[in-house]
Amino acid sequence: MKIDILTLFPEFTDSMKTWSIISRGIESGLVEINSVNIRDFSANKHKKVDDYPYGGGPGMVMTPQPLYDALKGVNSQNKKTIYLSPMGKPLNQEKLMELSKEKELVLLCGHYEGIDQRIIDNYVDEEISIGDFILTGGELPAMVLIDGIVRLIPGVLNNEDSSVEESFSNGLLEHNQYTRPEDFMGHRVPEVLLSGNHKKIDEYKIESSIRNTLNKRPDLIDTDKLSKEELEVYKGLRSETNK
């Protein structure tokens, strides 16, 4: 997958190329990340990229010319183009899975009060938000998006850090995780995980996963999506908590 990031801070977005799993994806040729400085495309003699908003109001708005030329420079008309914006659809794991199947992506990072609406209306395919809060720029949201996408590209993660059993992958939060030592300051790992009994371990994982989802994110549970076994455990735990 090739990802072009259009930004005013290319050194910042480029820094993610050294992150462990991202750099592994780049080294194995599965991912290419290209940070493009929007300012390089400004036709203004002072390389200005912002101006006052029409109609008044606080702050500045990114002007359309440098954005248009930067988009043209990466051939965005033939690629899925995403503007990171607090007004976008909230990002979730399903969206990351969908995007991980794209061959090419263009990510547009705004600054100041945002970008001229005509760029969004005419040259952007989708707006994505990373949550209901305002950051100063689109770089961190773009990096969040890339981090989430790259680890889903087949071949980037090895078996040891596989994404198959993770939270959200089946509509549930993940089960509790433990590692060595068996006893830490008197707190023991659940005995079943040390038993070697794979059936019992699988049952523990299902129960822990459903318990976590019920306790922390009950809004995620869609009983139509649960397997027969998961549904049984879910009903048992529900009746337990209703007692």
Ligand X SMILES: C[S@@+](CC[C@H](N)C(=O)[O-])C[C@H]1O[C@@H](n2cnc3c(N)ncnc32)[C@H](O)[C@@H]1O
Q: Contact residues for ligand X (CB under 6 A)?
A: 84-87, 109-111, 113-115, 129-131, 133-138, 141
* Structure-block tokens of residue 229: 């076994």
Helix or strand run (H / E) with residue 36: strand 32-37
Cβ-contact 109, 142 below 8 angstroms: yes
Shortest distance in whole angstroms from residue 58 CB to ligand X = 9
Q: Which amino acid is at 148?
A: G
> Measured from the CB atom, is 110 or 148 closer to ligand X?
110
Distance set, CA 27 to CA 21, 65, 66, 110 (Å): 10, 35, 31, 29
Residue partners of 74: CB distance under 8 A and separation at least 6 = 4, 6, 34, 36, 106
Contact assessment for residue 29 and residue 150, using Cβ atoms and an 8 Å cutoff? no
Q: How far is the CB of 62 from ligand X (least distance, A)?
A: 8
Query: Smallest gap, in angstroms, from Cβ of residue 216 to ligand X?
Result: 22
Token pair for residue 160?
Answer: 């040891």
CA 158 to each of CA 104, 108, 112, 161: distance values in angstroms, whole numbers, following the listed order: 23, 30, 40, 6
**Which residue's CB is nearer to ligand X, number 128 or number 210?**
128
Shortest CB 96 distance to ligand X, Å: 14
Q: Please give the residue whose beta carbon sits closest to ligand X in the complex.
A: 110
Residue 118 or 200: which CB sits closer to ligand X? 118
Cβ proximity to ligand X, 127 vs 203, nearer residue: 127
Min CB(112)–ligand X separation in Å: 6
Please choose, from the candidates 124, 115, 126, the residue with its C-alpha nearest in 3D space to the C-alpha of residue 88. Answer: 126
**Shortest Cβ distance from residue 143 to ligand X (Å)?**
11
The residue (of 81 and 85) whose beta carbon lies closer to ligand X is 85
Nearer to ligand X (CB atom), residue 134 or residue 164: 134
- E runs forming strands in 70-222: 80-90, 104-109, 126-129, 183-184, 187-188
